[in-house]
């Protein structure tokens, strides 16, 4: 799960990114609207946290351009407490949620989880795949009702596969959603994480298929097929 933070307040960026990283998200940060626009038009994220008061292109313009590209990325806008008008304009331009500054990090995280959940089309925080259950709020998995111990990478990998259950996920997509800028992760490393994840899911009815040369697919158990 990869989040882009567009915010020019260094203290806030520091707090936000630390807290989101501690929760296992990959986090990239930009401090101007121009950089946000560039990142959003060239790369793929799972969520955007967007300050409206950004230098070199305001947040509303970043949002307008994003939606004009027909990009449905979930967007949470950050606004000053007294700017009802900006908030309304942001929501009208296609923001999914907003937080007025100052806010508690715990509230931001709860809203991030809710947005991600909604964008996956599931109102519930539990994703089920056969005997595998994944709690998106607690970020914990169980297999046959027993907890599965997963590293941060394995957890990230499992989330990517679960969000695209039944569909092919390429290694490039995995790298894109698992890594922050400046982080290097090789195709070999992905294979190693995948190998470990498979081993941990051994004993259930969940299968991660390898599509040679293309990627991976978490197969839906037969009774869940749509
Ligand atoms: Ca600002």
Number of domains in the chain: 2
% residues pLDDT > 70 (the chain): 96
The pLDDT value given to residue 123: 62
Distance 26 CA to ligand 1 centre (A): 22
- Regarding whether 144 and 50 lie in a shared domain, the answer is no
Domain boundary (93, 119, 145) is at: 119
Residue 8 Cα to ligand 1 midpoint, Å, equals 5
Q: Band of the pLDDT at 223, cuts 50, 70, 90? A: low
pLDDT in tens, 205-220: 889 999 888 899 999 7
Give the per-residue pLDDT at 141: 94
CB atoms within 10 A of CB 151: 13
Query: What is the average pLDDT value for the chain, to the nearest integer?
Result: 90
Strand partners, 126: 135
With 60 as the cut, is the pLDDT of residue 146 above it?
yes
State the angle between helix axes of 84-92 and 59-68 in degrees (0 to 180), rounded to the nearest 10. Answer: 10
* Across 138-167, average pLDDT: 90
CA of 78 relative to ligand 1 center, distance in Å? 9
Helix (H) or strand (E) holding 183: none
What pLDDT does residue 29 have? 97
Same domain for 154 and 199: yes
Same domain, yes or no: 6 and 79: yes
Answer with the one of 119, 153, 171 that is the final residue of a domain: 119
What is the structure's pLDDT at 178? 86
Residue 13 pLDDT > 70: yes
Residue 41 structural domain: 2-119
Tell me: do 12 and 112 sit in the same domain. yes
Q: Which of 102, 119, 136 is the last residue of a domain?
A: 119
Please give the full DSSP string across 23-89, using - where no structure is assigned. Answer: TT-EEEEESSHHHHHHHHHHS--SEEEEESS-SSS-HHHHHHHHHHTT----EEEEEETT-HHHHHH
Cα of 95 from ligand 1 centre, angstroms: 17
If we measure between CA atoms, which residue out of 75, 102, 96, 100 comes closest to residue 85? Answer: 100
> How buried is 145 (Cβ within 10 angstroms: 0-12 exposed, 13-18 middle, 19+ buried)?
exposed
Instruction: Write the CATH number for 133.
Output: 1.10.10.10
Residues 60 and 111 in one domain: yes
Q: CA 38, CA 16: separation in Å to the nearest integer?
A: 21
> What tokens were used for 102?
């100052």
Give the pLDDT band (50/70/90) at residue 122: low
Cβ pair 205, 150 in contact under 8 A: no
Give the confidence band of 224 by pLDDT, cuts at 50, 70, 90: low
Distance from the alpha carbon of residue 71 to the mean position of ligand 1, in angstroms: 23
CATH of the domain at 14: 3.40.50.2300
Q: Residues 55, 146: one domain?
A: no
**Segment 192-199 mean pLDDT:** 94
115 and 131 housed in the same domain: no
């Amino acid at each position: 799960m990869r989040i882009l933070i567009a915010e020019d307040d260094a203290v806030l960026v520091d707090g936000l990114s630390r807290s989101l990283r501690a929760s296992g998200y990959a986090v990239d940060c930009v401090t101007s609207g121009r950089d946000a626009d560039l990142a959003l038009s060239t790369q793929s994220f799972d969520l955007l946290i967007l300050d409206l008061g950004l230098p070199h292109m305001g947040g509303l313009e970043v949002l307008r351009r994003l939606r004009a590209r027909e990009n449905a990325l979930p967007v949470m806008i950050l606004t000053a407490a007294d700017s009802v008008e900006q908030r309304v304009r942001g929501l009208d331009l296609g923001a999914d949620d907003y937080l007025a500054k100052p806010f508690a990090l715990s509230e931001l995280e709860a809203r991030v989880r809710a947005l991600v959940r909604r964008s996956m089309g599931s109102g519930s925080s539990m994703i089920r795949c056969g005997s595998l259950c994944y709690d998106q709020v607690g970020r914990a998995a169980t297999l046959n009702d027993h907890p599965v111990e997963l590293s941060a990478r394995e957890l990230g990998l499992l989330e990517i596969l679960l969000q695209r259950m039944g569909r092919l996920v390429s290694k490039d997509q995995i790298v894109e959603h698992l890594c922050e800028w400046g982080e290097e992760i090789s195709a070999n490393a992905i294979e190693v994480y995948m190998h470990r994840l498979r081993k941990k899911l051994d004993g259930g009815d969940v299968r991660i298929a390898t599509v040679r040369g293309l990627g991976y697919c978490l197969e839906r158990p037969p009774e869940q097929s749509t």
